[in-house]
Amino acid sequence: MKTTLSKRKYRNTIKGRKHEKEYAKEYRQKNKERIKQRGAEYRKKRKNKERIRAYMKKYRQTKKFKQAYKNKYYKNQRLKYKIISKTLEYKKRSKLYKIKYWKTKKFKIAWKKYAQKYTQIEKNKENLRKGSKKYRARKDVKKKQACRFKTYYLVQQGKIDKKSCEVCGKKKVQAHHPDYSRPELVVWLCVKHHKELHKKHLI
């Protein structure tokens, strides 16, 4: 019994721990294939698979695993992202992916929910009011508003006739002004084609 106690005490010391680590490294380097074979045989058995899964579930919930996972995983991902994000191919793909995602229903539904929450906060309401006042005070916006009021006045008088959409033929129509200095020149378009025109500049 004296020998066993002396070994246990020696292992708890700093020297004993260093000696065990050095011995373990040498053993792993020499017997890599043997360790792999034993691990594969152990994992094939059903009983051992269930034990491993139960152990991993408990281990993933610990603080040690979470901290180690964050530190190692995110460092590698950041390095990869810095290298890849500078390439032109990545930038082109990201733009195409964003454009496709913005057209989906998932994005529209998520955006509406976010907008509703954002507008309910008092701080955001004040910021939106200030932004709208600054936007309306701009010279370009004042010219556009004046041109729109003039077209509305001419339509009421009957000098300009409303027409259906020039692309699809819908009756619900908006007035598109190619030149805001001339309110008489109007292109009648529906909401969908009016937005597409401003995005793509077809006309």
pLDDT of residue 189: 92
In contact, 130 and 123? CB cutoff 8 Å = no
Mean pLDDT of all residues belonging to the chain: 83
Crossing angle of helices 122-136/105-120, nearest 10°? Answer: 100
Tens digit of each residue's pLDDT (9 = 90 or more) over 27-54: 888 888 888 888 888 878 877 888 888 8
- Neighbouring CB atoms inside 10 A of 90's CB total 13
pLDDT at 36: 85
Closest by CA position to 186, among listed 176, 173, 195, 194: 176
- Report how far residue 150's alpha carbon sits from residue 143's, in angstroms, rounded to the nearest whole number: 11
pLDDT value of residue 17: 81
pTM of the model: 0.43
pLDDT band at 201 (very low <50, low <70, confident <90, very high): low
> Domain map of the chain by residue range?
92-131, 138-200
CA distances from 166 to 33, 100, 129, 198 (A): 75, 27, 36, 15
pLDDT tens figures, 73-106: 777 777 777 777 777 777 788 888 888 888 898 8
Q: What are phi and psi of 187, to 5 degrees?
A: -115, 120
Residue 176, H or E segment:
strand 174-176
